[in-house]
Structure 1
């Protein structure tokens, strides 16, 4: 099972709040079979411990350390938001949900961080019109 498919990607998501964004990130992971529904609660727990805002309009919500039992297989969900939302005082328009089996999420996180390290790359990604364009952008992450 690929960690990222077109079914994991939402473009122009009409999200108003950080909470809505986290919930949808987790719902995509659960619906696509990467995690149990309980993983969503673990994503909210993680956010209360430490913000998953990464800079460059990017947030990467993911579960807590003890959420590993809720992960069936590593996966990503990607939401390109219609407009910026407030993420604890920071603007976010790209939300990438991560579920990592074992320690795989660390490798996935570093690849995403590299791909999104330049704000111009993120802005280019936000112009994507189709899930396949997003897949192309992240093709190196998904390998």
Structure 2
């Protein structure tokens, strides 16, 4: 599996988006900047959201591309954007947009690790309270472990 799925450079402590689609773009652009996906993948993330919501509960959404966008992925990666004000995600409140791109189904393992963290309300509160991107990264660094 790719060693560094999540890096400090793909964590943003204060996202600027105010809408669901802006949040998807913000999470997706971090993946593009990291060299993990092409810009076409961001479009596929928006397309996926149009057909099925990626809201997971506990303030978390995990936008990702469609199966047809697999060719736009160059390596597995994760981005995380935290919002100080909840974003309306089809009627649900989202404070964390986790963009995900996975090669060879690596994203399934990553998704399970993220789900475990976000299933614990105390852990979610720690993420909400984290001072900056470095602290967020430290709290989520275990997603990189094999």
Question: Would the TM-score normalized by the shorter structure come out above 0.5?
Answer: yes
Matched, 1:88 2:90: yes
Partner of 1:55: 57
Contact 1:84 1:91 (8 Å CA) reproduced: yes
Q: In the aligned structure 1, how far is the partner of 2:30 from the partner of 2:141? A: 19
Distance apart, 1:77 and its partner CA: 0.6
1:33 aligned to which of 29, 32, 35: 35
Contact 1:68 1:102 (8 Å CA) reproduced: no
**Structure 2 residue ranges without an equivalent (≥5):** none
Q: How does 1:11-22 map to 2 (within 5 A)?
A: 11-22=13-24
**Structure 1 residue ranges without an equivalent (≥5):** none
Aligned partner of residue 77 in structure 1, secondary structure: strand
Contact 1:12 1:80 (8 Å CA) reproduced: yes
1:92-114 per-residue CA deviation (whole Å, 9 max, x = no partner) reads 00110000012111111111001
Q: In the aligned structure 1, how far is the partner of 2:11 from the partner of 2:77? A: 11
Q: In the aligned structure 2, how far is the partner of 1:14 from the partner of 1:33? A: 21
Q: Decide which structure has greater helix share.
A: 2
Aligned partner of residue 143 in structure 2, secondary structure: coil
2:67 aligned to which of 65, 68, 82: 65
Q: In the aligned structure 2, how far is the partner of 1:45 from the partner of 1:131? A: 28
Matched, 1:3 2:5: yes
RMSD (CA atoms): 1.1
Partner of 1:24: 26
Partner of 2:100: 98
Give the count of matched residue pairs. 143
